[in-house]
Amino acid sequence: MKTERFSGGRPRGQTVTEFALVLPVLLTIILGVIDGGLLMFSVGTARYAASEGSRAAAALGNQGPADSQIVASIRTVVTTTHLFSVREHLA
């Protein structure tokens, strides 16, 4: 009985089995790279928001509503990404 083969000479079932074994590893690596990229983007956004908040704090000084304006300036930077949010923590 003759088995069906590709031009490479390997049986068809072996190719499918190898693909089924390699696919989860490949998808894990690809999704890990995407997740790492999102993490680095979030860290960069948080750093930029912190610098904007400190710039607003330096400009406002000791004015009465300075804290709420600082948090508002940080929120305006962060809300453009929709990846994370800023909440006020009351001590």
**Greater pLDDT, 49 or 88:** 49
The predicted pLDDT at position 2 comes to 57
Query: What is the signed CA dihedral for 73, 77, 79, 80, rounded to 10 degrees?
Result: 140
Check residue 51 and give its pLDDT: 94
CA distance 76 to 33: 28
**Interval 47-58: pLDDT, tens:** 999 999 999 999
